[in-house]
Amino acid sequence: MMNNKTLSVIALLCCSTSVPAAKITGLAEVSLVSTEKQASWLNSWMQGGVGLLRYDEQDSIVFNQAFIELEQNLPYNISFNATAHYQADGEQNLGISEAYLSYRPLSQGLKHQFKAGFFYPKMSLENADAGWTSPYNYNFSAINSWLAEELRTIGMEWTVSRPGRVHRSPHSYSFTLSAFQANDGLASLLAWRGWALHNRQTVYGEQVNFANYFQFQSNPTPNPTYVVPFKETDNRLGFYLGANWRYLRSTDVRVYFYDNLADPMAVEPDMQYAWRNQFVSIAGLHKFNKQWRVLAQWMDGYTEMGDKIKGVFFDYNAWYLLLSYHHSDHRYSVRYDKFSVTDTDINPEDPNDSDGSAVTLTWRYDINSAWQAGVEYIHVDSSNDSRTLWRNWQAQQKQTQFIATIQYRF
């Protein structure tokens, strides 16, 4: 029960004229999706299929996403940020994709920032727009599609920065350390579905489904055909380290090392295991001039779940190269993705090898400050050994999708 003194303090903070109004931004996005005709088993993983694209529709209008992002500055150099997402597909349509407090104490020389809550690590240079969306392609790269569905920090982060402007230098540096929990299910989707390309962000507490590969195993207590990504299973802390170098406003490089330190033998009552994950991510951006820029990201890691006899062990790797040209109200972007999962365990009942590549072409046009229209073409060529568990299904498959999109921003 709150006492009168506590209520008075809350009222003072809420009503104080020194607290500015919250900054609120938002987006609503509708798309016309046309997918090349395919077998029903190549449908989206969210529909129990083994495809790598979000939508299965042929010439259908879909409500792609909507979000509201709030930023509220509070006294004592504290701010609160939160993003609520709505998506018409999946197990949970409405939820929180980020919510955290940030504290930036005033200091001379080195700058400090402390964050606590539920948020993305700043590994991505592609997802630089509001709501952790991309200003380049409508659908994210394979790397950032995976981060959007399975990885979030639930913990604390400390960043120390040396701004170049303060030190009269063209170079700026920052270093990040984080401790977190509740990323124990990470890599479940890479194991059985492989990498994918989409723009769907998993919200807190959501369950993400995939195809029922386990029906072909002799294990009487198979794993569930879903993952709840942000769940704490082993009561262990994980960590990541990050370093960022920027040269003026033209070049940005980010290097991260991530280790969730999960116990691969820890398991939930529904048989969702903890997965030990360790990876390195390197992202870079260079602006040649006001019109042209290039982005790239590379990720390399490994994971393990269960024991050495019946468990799942694999390496994973992905990279993309993105070239973007901006002129007037138009932006043209082309991205090439390459990705793979390499099985390293000795369990023949559970093949996890997969690989593929994708080409994404996008044109976006700003009609005005609120409205944007655009089109996107995606072609994915992928192979996944787990597809062969079904009779007459081939590991190698191609998928093509055309999307026409309109956005409203406020």
Report the length, in residues, of the chain.
Answer: 410
Give whole-number Cα distances, 47 to 64, 84, 286, 289, in Å.
16, 24, 38, 43
Q: Would you give the DSSP letter of residue 71? A: E
SS3 category, 8: helix
At residue 270, the pLDDT reads 92
At residue 371, the pLDDT reads 98
Q: Which two tokens stand for residue 120?
A: 């993305």
DSSP lists the bridge partners of residue 365 as: 330, 373
At residue 41, the pLDDT reads 86
Distance CA 17, CA 254 (A): 39
At residue 216, the pLDDT reads 84
Residue whose C-alpha is closest to residue 52's, from 204, 189, 177, 166: 189
At residue 17, the pLDDT reads 44
What is the gyration radius of the CA atoms in the chain, in angstroms?
Answer: 22
At residue 18, the pLDDT reads 61
Q: Which two tokens stand for residue 34?
A: 């046309």
Amino acid type, 295? L
Question: Is residue 148 within 8 Å of residue 200, measured between CB atoms?
Answer: yes
| Mean pLDDT along residues 232-258 | 97
Give whole-number Cα distances, 187 to 64, 143, 270, in Å.
25, 12, 17
pLDDT band, very low/low/confident/very high, at 12 (cuts 50, 70, 90) = very low
pLDDT band, very low/low/confident/very high, at 220 (cuts 50, 70, 90) = low
pLDDT at 10 over 70: no
The rounded mean pLDDT for the chain is: 93
Distance CA 95, CA 267 (A): 26
Tens-digit pLDDT profile for residues 14-50: 444 466 899 999 999 999 999 988 888 899 999 999 9
Distance CA 183, CA 153 (A): 8
Tens-digit pLDDT profile for residues 286-318: 999 999 999 999 999 999 999 988 899 999 999
pLDDT at 2 over 80: no
At residue 222, the pLDDT reads 73
Distance CA 219, CA 350 (A): 11
**CATH classification (class only), 107-399:** mainly beta
